[in-house]
Chain A
Amino acid sequence: MQSLEEFRIDTRAWLEQNCPASMRTSMVQEEVVWGGRNATFTNPESEVWLQRMAEKGWTCPTWPSEYGGGGLDKDQAIVLGEELVRINARPALTSFGISMLGPVLLEYGNHQQKLEHIPKIVRGEIRWCQGYSEPGSGSDLASLSTKAELQGDYYLINGSKVWTSYADKADWIFCLVRTDFEVPKHSGISFILFDMASEGISTKPIQLISGSSPFCETFFDDVKVPATNLVGRLNEGWTIAKRLLQHERTMISGFGLSAGQSDNGGTTSTISSLEGAAMHYRGDNDKLSDPVLRDQIAQFKIDAEAFAYTSRRSVEESKQGQGPNATSSMLKNYGCELNKRRYELMLLAIGSQGLGWEGEGFSDEELQLTREWLRSKANSIEGGTSEVQLNVIAKRVLGLPDILSLAQK
């Protein structure tokens, strides 16, 4: 068996050979690789990098190799992660298949389903979207009413979803549907997968306050889905749904981490770090001249640093245990609040130059910041609001009595 040190040496050598030069620079928004049937590569080296990483299964390092994953153990995956960070490598592939669906499919899917879907996630061939929220079911997700009726060997699906990220670009959807209306709400939900190219599906982008449209409304009108696409058991989809949410929260809590990290430099841009931006726009040399802002930035950075240690500790602790758990709610909540705080401070740091909307008088970077600031407001709503995370912490971590179950009595 190969020692961890040998693995590191081999990995380093392989990355040295195989990671293209432009993939060792900080990621720019337009070059994020989402994969899928209609994948586009603004930078041709992105495609090379994806192919090489996918071949080794390293887009999903710890997934079993029988389904195309890297088959690495946790320690090896950490080494790989460290080596990627060492050369500032970009993620070869970003997808909801990797961060959300894959882990639960490996846990709850049958062999056939894994065989069909996992390798395509690893290789970035299919882009997934998430059919969770509905117009009438936001924080109270389990009240969802998109209906799936069994008709012979397929389900007939009717209803609508909202806040479906990139539904207009996705190839497949993992979707929560109601398969029983007669039982308590949590007990009649199933988890099903289907092709977005199916007859009867339409999507409509939603324009956000930031001006962009990452989310859609998604409508299902007599969509036929093979019955074999149901994951896990009929009416037991809520367990899978919650598990997937834990993975989603872990992913989103990364925003807070990157908020802290991007704040420690990494790019040469004038607005990459809060203190750098604040001093640059004020013309300060060695000390930030606004003492209140200076104090607020210090407080932010201290929290971001302590949060980064907390994320790391959570990884170290889960090495003995099992993947993400209820503490993912804490990390999600704190990480999102940190990210929002960072944007608010960044606006204060660059003053009126951070308030432009379009056109002359502002750099692209400044205009992008305005939009990102607005977009960050969704961080504490998507993937379960901060209030829902606090409910989960109170109930699952602190063991406090559940007012909702009291209310239902």
Chain B
Amino acid sequence: MALVLSEDQQLLKDSAKSFCEQNAPISVLRGLRDSKNEQGYDQAIWSQMIELGWAGMAIGEIYGGFDFGYGGLGVVLEETGRTLVSSPLISTVLVGATAIERLGSEVQKQDFLPKIVAGELLTALALDEHTSHSPSKIATTATKIEGGFSLNGSKTFVLDGHIANTLIVVARTSKEADSEQGISLFLVDTAAKGLSITRTIMVDSRNSSNIQFDNVVVAEDALLGELDKGFSGLDAVLDIARIGVAAEMLGSMQAVFESILEFLKQREQFGVLIGSFQGLQHRAAEMYSEIELCKSAVRAALAGLDDPESTQAELAGLASMTKAKLSEVFFLVSNEGIQMHGGIGMTDEFDVGFFIKRARVAQQYLGDASFHRDRYATLNGF
């Protein structure tokens, strides 16, 4: 397992970095927010990202992708995290394409993946039903009917739900509401009858939505993966997504830290640069150390995803380690980002506020630090 980037990954990272700096800086997110953009992302930038091949990064060549692995997608996510790019990269590429490639039938893969690579289809994962992540606590039901299933229930915190063409819905087909048994996944067209999707405006200015299912009928071939036995596959997909989101968080926290360092080196008080004060130096040095650990965790986890010999249990451990650690450190760095910039950090004009807002959403998305420490303990037998 290599913890340093390969030459190809480094090249990809450099090109992603310059693309994001030049074409998708934070001012784009600010513009989307201020103009109350209905899509919540910039379609022109998304088209460019598609042209760069980012949507096919981790998808196999036989489905039109580029087979560059999660190590490749990871460095792209890291760079989009630096400038807080709002795009369907997470909902559709990281989560959607992964779910379909890992769990889908050959027909489903042939049907969906090339469209995702080409930027013709957006997906959203309709999973959470509670205010905190609990992927097996599923009350939304899918009842067997003639020729298919009927879905009823509600979902919340659905990233990109209101712009998606297809939802991946996690529903209960048997057993009680908190059992890992009896869970199944369905591909649901967002034009389906009985489906109502309400966009929610979130603090980080990224897309989210609440979704209501009222006798939404899908055909039998909408089932993604095995009936009643969807949880294990879902969890594996979630682990990949958790690691990808952690990679994005890594980029974001580095951007905040660089901004802090720059400020410490130019702001003067009491006649000296404030970066000469030990009270600030030590906090900066501690943050640096924590970010170095985050970098290693993300590199190890991405390398684990691309290693064909990794077991699902190993990947689960890596995912929970990484998401827990990154969530804690992004919390720290985003708070220090405000405090160490002083008054300017509190102004909307200065960008650091966007990062603390993103931090809290990213921390909670797919499980916060406490969720993942608990899971890590369970995985390690205590």
Residues of A within 8 A of B (CB): 275-276, 278-279, 286-288, 294-295, 297-299, 301-303, 305-307, 309-310, 312-313, 316-317, 327, 330, 333-334, 387, 389-391, 393-395, 397-403, 406
Say if the beta carbon of B360 comes within 8 Å of chain A: no
Enumerate chain B residues within 8 angstroms of A295, measured Cβ to Cβ: 370, 373-374, 377
Contact A278 B284 (CB under 8 A): no
Enumerate chain B residues within 8 angstroms of A307, measured Cβ to Cβ: 293, 296
Q: Most chain-B Cβ atoms within 10 A of its Cβ — which of A288, A294, A298?
A: A298
Enumerate chain B residues within 8 angstroms of A398, measured Cβ to Cβ: 261, 281, 284-285, 288
Shortest A213–chain B CB gap in Å is: 32
Residues A302 and B373 in contact in the complex (CB < 8 Å), given A309-B300, A391-B281, A400-B264: yes
Contact A400 B265 (CB under 8 A): yes
11 chain-A/chain-B pairs, Cβ below 8 angstroms: A276-B382, A298-B373, A301-B380, A306-B293, A306-B296, A309-B300, A316-B4, A330-B289, A333-B289, A387-B282, A403-B277
Q: Most chain-B Cβ atoms within 10 A of its Cβ — which of A310, A312, A387?
A: A310
Say if the beta carbon of B325 comes within 8 Å of chain A: yes
Residues A303 and B325 in contact in the complex (CB < 8 Å), given A275-B377, A403-B277: yes
Enumerate chain B residues within 8 angstroms of A401, measured Cβ to Cβ: 265, 272-273, 275-276
- Minimal Cβ-Cβ distance residue in B for A387: B282
Enumerate chain B residues within 8 angstroms of A303, measured Cβ to Cβ: 293, 325
Cβ contact of B3, chosen from A279, A312, A393, cutoff 8 A:
A312
Give the complex CA separation of A333 and B380 in angstroms: 27
Cβ contact of A330, chosen from B288, B294, B376, B382, cutoff 8 A:
B288
- Minimal Cβ-Cβ distance residue in B for A334: B289
Give the complex CA separation of A301 and B379 in angstroms: 12
Say if the beta carbon of B297 comes within 8 Å of chain A: yes
Interface size class of B (residues with CB under 8 A): 35 or more
Shortest B363–chain A CB gap in Å is: 15
Say if the beta carbon of B131 comes within 8 Å of chain A: no
Residues A393 and B299 in contact in the complex (CB < 8 Å), given A275-B377, A275-B380, A302-B321: no
Say if the beta carbon of B44 comes within 8 Å of chain A: no
Say if the beta carbon of B191 comes within 8 Å of chain A: no
Shortest A286–chain B CB gap in Å is: 7
Inter-chain pairs besides A305-B297, A390-B285, A398-B288, 19 sampled, C-beta below 8 Å: A279-B382, A288-B377, A297-B382, A298-B373, A298-B376, A302-B373, A303-B325, A306-B294, A309-B297, A310-B293, A310-B296, A316-B3, A327-B292, A330-B289, A333-B289, A390-B282, A394-B284, A401-B272, A402-B276
Give the complex CA separation of A22 and B272 in angstroms: 61
Enumerate chain B residues within 8 angstroms of A406, measured Cβ to Cβ: 272, 276
Contact B276 A403 (CB under 8 A): yes
- Minimal Cβ-Cβ distance residue in B for A403: B276
Enumerate chain B residues within 8 angstroms of A301, measured Cβ to Cβ: 376, 380
Enumerate chain A residues within 8 angstroms of B286, measured Cβ to Cβ: 390
Enumerate chain A residues within 8 angstroms of B285, measured Cβ to Cβ: 330, 389-391, 393-394, 397-398
Enumerate chain B residues within 8 angstroms of A391, measured Cβ to Cβ: 278, 281-282, 285
Question: 0/1 per residue, B252-275, Cβ < 8 Å to A?
Answer: 000000000100110000001101
- Minimal Cβ-Cβ distance residue in B for A394: B281
Say if the beta carbon of B381 comes within 8 Å of chain A: yes
Give the complex CA separation of A305 and B321 in angstroms: 8
Enumerate chain B residues within 8 angstroms of A286, measured Cβ to Cβ: 381
Give the complex CA separation of A276 and B300 in angstroms: 26
**Nearest 10 CB-CB pairs, A to B?**
A394-B281, A275-B382, A309-B296, A393-B285, A313-B3, A298-B373, A310-B296, A306-B293, A390-B285, A401-B276
Shortest B159–chain A CB gap in Å is: 25
Q: Most chain-B Cβ atoms within 10 A of its Cβ — which of A294, A333, A401?
A: A401
Residues A306 and B297 in contact in the complex (CB < 8 Å), given A298-B376, A333-B289, A403-B276: yes
Q: Most chain-A Cβ atoms within 10 A of its Cβ — which of B285, B288, B378?
A: B285
Say if the beta carbon of B324 comes within 8 Å of chain A: yes
Contact B292 A330 (CB under 8 A): yes
Shortest A303–chain B CB gap in Å is: 7
Shortest B292–chain A CB gap in Å is: 6
Enumerate chain A residues within 8 angstroms of B297, measured Cβ to Cβ: 305-306, 309
Shortest B372–chain A CB gap in Å is: 8
Shortest A263–chain B CB gap in Å is: 10
Shortest A123–chain B CB gap in Å is: 35
Give the complex CA separation of A297 and B381 in angstroms: 12
Say if the beta carbon of B2 comes within 8 Å of chain A: yes
Give the complex CA separation of A393 and B287 in angstroms: 11
